Structure 1
Amino acid sequence: MVFTYPLMCAIQMISARIGRVTGHGLAANMGRVFPAWIVMILVTLLFIANTINIGADLAAMGAAAKLVLGWGQHTFTVGFAVVSLVAQLFIPYHRYVRYLKWLTLVLFAYVGVIFTIHIDWGDVALRTFVPQLSLTGDMITMVVAIIGTTISPYLFFWQASEEVEDEEADAAKPLLRKPSQATYELGRIQWDTYAGMGFSNLIAFFIILTTAVTLHASGMTDIQTAADAADALRPVAGEFAFMLFSLGIIGTGLLAIPVLAGSAAYAVGESRGWKTGLENKPWQAVGFYTVIGLATVLGIAVDYSPIDPIKALFWTAVINGVISVPIMAAMMIVASRRHEMGRFVATIGQRILGWTVTAIMAGATAAMFIFR
């Protein structure tokens, strides 16, 4: 998490920069640079990965709710899907985004778990900066999954499109048309990204640490479902930690599902030239909201399939890591072209870090296939 932080910041800043400078989302900008068939392949891969991710999240939420209340896993899964879908369809974006921002606070549940158990913080500090890694297929696959779930393609599309949403909500203009706003807007993007990615990595750090000092330390290394994870945590870390972990699963899913479905809809809609945006009514952007509904409904099917949600989440992260390579490369090309970005092309530092993380992911993906 320490090592990925600057890489995450660079990629998300570039994504936001593309949206704010051009006034168009990432898929729309890619369509101006690359052939339509290349963009469609990238968008299709994103949709598939996001749909599986939605399904795994919904299944995990249903399992966690059943653990807390003792009944109705499938009922809760469908209920969470309906609540999320209705919110996206009928609550205006400028109001809905406030709920999403406050909902991020539920992620502190994973921080709370840590303080219910004993931890050797000296060892934690050492292994945070000097990790023990082995060059095996499983380890490399895990690295791809971790990077794929933190530097994830759906976040690129979401970040760029939400800059456009905010711009339209504030009746502002793209920086290409109003360059006088550049100093303030690019500064806002910079500090917003530093803070947001810092919060993200802090929570991810505690999720990893929680798993290490509870389940892994007790020899529980083959968790099959979210219910297994939460249930196994109860005797190891106590009832309070069990409840926090279960609520964390539910809160994280409620936060992730609209972002996953929304980013897929932005990508598909922009690549097809449809009207997009969560500020529109469903009948004003039929194709856009159809993609959101389709991704959510297909996600529900995962809960009724034999697919294990924990494994689905893991392998979706791996898929995200693999498909992030061509998407990041395409994004870096867009961000470096004066024809699209004018004088607001990505900074030298952003380009160095952006191409660095692209190369790291390409190398890790290649190594994963070689060592498997």
Structure 2
Amino acid sequence: MNKFVEKLKNIGPGALVAAGFVGPGTVTTCTVSGASYGYTMLWCLLFATVATIIFQEMAARVGIISQKGLGENIRDRIPNAVLKWIAIIIVIVAIFVGNVAYETGNITGGTLGIRAINSDLQLIPIVIVLGLAAFACMWFGGRKVIEKVLTAIVVFMGVVFLVTALASSPDWGAVLKGLFTPQIPEGAGILTAVGLIGTTIVPYNLFLHASSAAQRWTDPEHVSDARFDTALSIGLGGIISMAILICAGANIFGTGVEVKNGADMAVALSPVLGDWATWLIALGLLAAGFSSAMTAPYSAAYAVNGVLGWKKSTDDIQFKAIWVVVLLCGCVMAIVWGSSPTQLILVAQAANAIILPIMAFFVLYCANSKDLGTFRNHAFANVCGVLIIVITLFMCYRNMNAFITSLTALISG
């Protein structure tokens, strides 16, 4: 019992990852999925949660043993100069595109929260205020304190979803079928399925986890603590995501309500909260969007700095320049395409899922390095990793037409 309590005290990097993916993208994508298809897509979340645990454990293990971030590991472990620079360029482009897409979803999620209370507020001023607030927190400091408060709000919202899911008396037979019977509905079902994966297995979280685990644990003996932290934290995050989908499936599916804004999402919580549901969704989306709007640019800066070998601190202008560009691009895209917020967030999550196999490959490559000794990947981890990459690649291939169609419709208007 004492050993278990001691492990609980070491919870940290895994919880940071879980808080990172239970953001506005998760709330929106899970709600849209449940409202549109009932419990059909629960298997996507089960697959994504297991896959996240597997790859985040690899990233944390690589970070602890090497005492370096994932970007540094990718740079250091490719001996051929040409291949190294090809890998560096691929990582930079993938991280930049993925984080800009994710940042767009974060900012849009924040606007969804504010406009759930007052739909008459204009989009552009909201985005500007959110962007400037995030910029100020990151540039002048104080980001970590604010993130802790906002994360507490998001955790509270997750607990409320979990309680509501149980109180909504869902068809548990249908829930179990949805969990263990993979199927993809016709039409936009493939985009939603890939979006559920992209909002759970977040590529930049792999870099964030490796760096934070290296800082938290310096002794290889603590790898077991990191595994416990990863499995527990991400497992709970996955359960909360499933609870959000179940709430929407139980309370919105079949009612004819099309989820377009925060007020529509609040219907999923109405059995427990009644009129207060809109206020919680508004506060939760705003908190999740704003906290993630600071985390995503920082993660991009850490990844790019690591893979380029700059080893700059957060106060260096090169580090700041990277996160400023990501934040600015996210704000601009949220303004340009924010007229269809739920669709924009869904497309952003799908974009991350398309980038995911590339980052997963690099994690798998680093986790098999000989210098990790007994902590390098064993056969079972490799089989699981390859299988996850193949399944994700297949789903992304199936999704490409729907993704391009949705993206084109979003751009045109």
Q: Shorter chain as normaliser: what TM range?
A: 0.7 to 0.9
- After the TM superposition, which residues 25-104 of structure 1 pair with which residues of structure 2 at under 5 Å, given as runs? 25-32=69-76, 33=78, 34-69=83-118, 71=121, 73-91=123-141, 98-99=148-149, 102-104=152-154
How far apart are the structure 1 equivalents of 2:364 and 2:265? 40
Partner SS state of residue 218, structure 1: coil
Which residue of 1 is the match for residue 326 of structure 2?
295
Distance verdict in 2 for CA 1:189–1:234, change over 3 Å: closer
1:273 matched to 2:305? The reply is: no
Q: How many residues are matched?
A: 351
Counterpart contact for 1:274–1:288, Cα < 8 Å: no
Distance verdict in 2 for CA 1:92–1:270, change over 3 Å: farther
Which residue of 1 is the match for residue 179 of structure 2?
129
Partner SS state of residue 368, structure 1: helix
How far apart are the structure 1 equivalents of 2:224 and 2:150? 23
- The answer for unaligned runs of 5 or more in structure 1 is 173-180
Counterpart contact for 2:153–2:284, Cα < 8 Å: no
1:272 Cα deviation from its structure 2 partner: 2.0
Which residue of 2 is the match for residue 182 of structure 1?
220
2:349 partner amino acid? A
Deviations 1:6-63 (A, max 9, x none): 2221111011111111122112211232421232123212212211221232123123
Residue among 153, 158, 164 paired with 2:203: 153
Residue among 296, 301, 310 paired with 1:260: 296
Distance verdict in 2 for CA 1:39–1:99, change over 3 Å: farther
Counterpart contact for 1:264–1:292, Cα < 8 Å: yes
Distance verdict in 2 for CA 1:233–1:131, change over 3 Å: same
Counterpart contact for 2:108–2:289, Cα < 8 Å: no
1:208 matched to 2:245? The reply is: yes
TM-score for the superposition, normalised by structure 2: 0.75
How far apart are the structure 2 equivalents of 1:61 and 1:147? 21
How far apart are the structure 2 equivalents of 1:96 and 1:17? 29
TM-score for the superposition, normalised by structure 1: 0.82
Deviations 1:193-216 (A, max 9, x none): 011111210111122123223333
Counterpart contact for 2:106–2:289, Cα < 8 Å: yes
Counterpart contact for 1:28–1:271, Cα < 8 Å: yes
Residue among 366, 378, 384 paired with 1:353: 384
1:253 Cα deviation from its structure 2 partner: 1.1
1:113 Cα deviation from its structure 2 partner: 7.5
How far apart are the structure 2 equivalents of 1:83 and 1:133? 42
1:56 partner amino acid? G
Partner SS state of residue 350, structure 1: helix
- The answer for unaligned runs of 5 or more in structure 2 is 1-44, 404-413
Partner SS state of residue 151, structure 1: coil
Distance verdict in 2 for CA 1:367–1:58, change over 3 Å: closer
Distance verdict in 2 for CA 1:31–1:230, change over 3 Å: same
2:225 partner amino acid? R
Counterpart contact for 1:56–1:302, Cα < 8 Å: no
1:65 Cα deviation from its structure 2 partner: 1.2
Deviations 1:76-121 (A, max 9, x none): 4333333333333333787677556545424426516826974334
Distance verdict in 2 for CA 1:137–1:326, change over 3 Å: farther
How far apart are the structure 2 equivalents of 1:88 and 1:99? 15
1:229 matched to 2:267? The reply is: no
Deviations 1:109-139 (A, max 9, x none): 6516826974334345433434472474633
1:14 matched to 2:58? The reply is: yes
Counterpart contact for 1:146–1:317, Cα < 8 Å: yes
Counterpart contact for 2:72–2:306, Cα < 8 Å: yes
Residue among 370, 375, 398 paired with 1:367: 398
How far apart are the structure 2 equivalents of 1:123 and 1:251? 34
2:97 partner amino acid? I
Which residue of 2 is the match for residue 245 of structure 1?
281
1:202 partner amino acid? I
How far apart are the structure 2 equivalents of 1:42 and 1:304? 27
Residue among 331, 344, 358 paired with 1:326: 358
Provide the identity percentage.
17
307-316 or 259-268, which moves further after superposition? 307-316
Partner SS state of residue 188, structure 2: helix
Counterpart contact for 2:103–2:330, Cα < 8 Å: yes
Distance verdict in 2 for CA 1:371–1:213, change over 3 Å: same
Partner SS state of residue 46, structure 2: coil
Which residue of 1 is the match for residue 229 of structure 2?
192
Distance verdict in 2 for CA 1:359–1:234, change over 3 Å: closer
1:369 Cα deviation from its structure 2 partner: 4.0
